[in-house]
């Protein structure tokens, strides 16, 4: 685990190396994905059949390509009371938050009589990728499917691998709650290719969202333009800004909440209290010894974790903005949290105050947990209903409107050497 002190002479170079470190897929993954995409594009369902057998040990023809809606209903009916209540609470809060994001159409006439505006429509079909197997995430189903349905997507397709036939019943129950229309038992880059290109069995979609491993992320990157995507997601990350008034065990748990996702995840603590930094480091080690996911979390913490000591928390915020993290906790009292929040320029999602652990945002708060990673929060936002919608502008002129603005348009066309553009306007004038 890296320890940095902003007062040390080598800090700038060491922090710069931390900012620029890459924890994402290498060229080998890119080449593998390119080959898989090409295979699916040419061979279609035959490629899906072969690759699913190869990677998941699952025979689609024998066991079935799709999961029937009745199976999702049965999974929902079989939930324990507490889990059912938790999923329904999460779904209701996610639905309410995302319904409030729906944009309004515009239609107005300006001062020279030109009608202008824009109309929003949902894409016709969307695909969501859900990681598979027993270690699957029903929360990811809700976070991806509910915004799509809130946007008005008519056909919502879910792909999820079922290695050796295994699937988490809670994932099926979440699909039932969210209103997923189709579920296909395929995963990996080949599933993304099927959604993008379409096959005889699986009709193509317009947008693909959802988390996955390095191969899934790379497939989405390569297929952007064939379809829309939410983002290219990398390993998870959390930045915690905390003062010494915190319980070090709380902050240690927050750091480990992201470290347990993957050995390439990253957890970083900024503090202005050296004794507190030592206490958090000790608490992390103590909790790792008892954590069921300790092997993964420990590798992440040792290889990519960091504790950074700064003179003040306010002085840490420019450094936080350079990292542009996926999750940012401001673990200070409510008043100071607002002060620090005002200094935040780049973060996927911000968690305000000592009683707002990042994990609450993963499940039940309402905002989406699909967030930009790898410093992409500098230019990207979390998943929203807008990822499943597109805006069409419109223009309407009468004779008076054309006389008001047409001559200027023709002049600009002349200047750009496009005489047919100019002629199409001047003939009307």
- Per residue in 147-198, pLDDT tens? 999 999 999 999 999 999 899 999 999 999 999 999 999 999 999 999 999 9
d(CA 184, CA 78): 21
327 Cβ contact partners less than 8 Å away, ≥ 6 residues apart: 236, 237, 238, 239, 258, 347, 348, 349, 351, 358, 361, 371
Contact 121, 151 (CB under 8 A): no
Catalytic residue, from 237, 260, 326, 329: name it: 326
Whole-number pLDDT of residue 135: 65
At the fourth CATH level, the homologous superfamily of domain 234-378 is Nitrogenase molybdenum iron protein domain (3.40.50.1980)
H/E run at residue 275 = helix 274-288
- Total count of residues recorded for the chain: 429
427 Cβ contact partners less than 8 Å away, ≥ 6 residues apart: none
Distances (CA, A) of 258 to 100, 172, 232, 283, 376: 28, 25, 18, 16, 18
Active site residue 326: yes
Catalytic residue, from 98, 176, 261, 327: name it: 327
Active site residue 98: no
- The closest alpha carbon to 39, from 158, 182, 191, belongs to 191
At the fourth CATH level, the homologous superfamily of domain 27-102+123-229 is Nitrogenase molybdenum iron protein domain (3.40.50.1980)
Q: Report, as ranges of residue numbers, the positions in the chain whose pLDDT lies below 70.
A: 25, 133-135
d(CA 116, CA 47): 48
In this structure, the strands spanning 115-122 and 125-129 are unpaired
Domain ranges, ordered by start, for the chain = 27-102+123-229, 234-378, 397-426
């Amino acid at each position: 685990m890296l320890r940095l002190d902003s007062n040390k002479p080598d800090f700038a170079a060491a922090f710069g190396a931390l900012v620029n470190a890459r924890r994402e897929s290498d060229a080998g993954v890119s080449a593998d994905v390119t080959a898989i995409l090409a295979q699916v594009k040419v061979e279609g369902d035959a490629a899906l059949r072969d690759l699913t057998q190869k990677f998941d040990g699952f025979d689609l023809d024998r066991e079935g390509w799709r999961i029937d809606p009745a199976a999702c209903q049965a999974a929902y009916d079989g939930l324990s009371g507490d889990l059912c209540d938790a999923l329904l609470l999460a779904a209701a809060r996610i639905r309410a938050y995302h319904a409030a994001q729906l944009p309004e159409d515009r239609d107005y006439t300006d001062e020279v009589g030109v009608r202008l505006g824009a109309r929003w429509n949902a894409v016709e079909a969307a695909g969501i990728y859900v990681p598979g197997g027993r270690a699957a995430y029903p929360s990811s189903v809700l976070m991806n499917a509910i915004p799509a349905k809130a946007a008005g997507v008519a056909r919502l397709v879910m792909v999820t691998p079922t290695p050796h036939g295994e699937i988490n019943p809670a994932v099926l129950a979440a699909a039932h709650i969210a209103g997923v229309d189709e579920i296909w038992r395929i995963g990996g880059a080949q599933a993304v290719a099927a959604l993008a290109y379409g096959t005889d069995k699986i009709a193509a979609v317009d947008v693909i969202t959802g988390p996955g491993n390095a191969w899934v992320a790379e497939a989405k990157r390569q297929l952007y333009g064939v379809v829309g995507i939410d983002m290219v997601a990398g390993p998870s990350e959390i930045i915690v800004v905390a003062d010494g008034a915190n319980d070090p065990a709380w902050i240690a748990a927050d750091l480990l909440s992201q470290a347990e996702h993957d050995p390439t995840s990253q957890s970083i603590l900024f503090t202005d209290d050296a004794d507190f930094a030592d206490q958090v480091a000790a608490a992390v080690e103590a909790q790792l010894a008892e954590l069921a996911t300790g092997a993964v979390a420990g590798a992440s913490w040792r290889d990519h974790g960091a504790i950074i000591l700064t003179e003040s928390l306010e002085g840490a915020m420019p450094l936080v903005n350079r990292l542009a993290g996926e999750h940012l906790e401001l673990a200070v009292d409510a008043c100071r949290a607002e002060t620090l929040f005002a200094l935040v320029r780049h973060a996927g999602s911000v968690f305000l105050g000592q009683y707002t652990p990042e994990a609450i945002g993963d499940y039940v708060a309402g905002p989406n947990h699909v967030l930009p990673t790898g410093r992409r929060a500098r230019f990207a936002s979390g998943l929203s209903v807008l990822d499943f919608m597109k805006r069409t502008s419109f223009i309407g002129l009468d004779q008076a409107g054309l006389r008001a603005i047409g001559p200027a348009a023709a002049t600009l066309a002349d200047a750009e050497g496009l005489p047919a553009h100019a002629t199409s306007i001047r003939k009307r004038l």
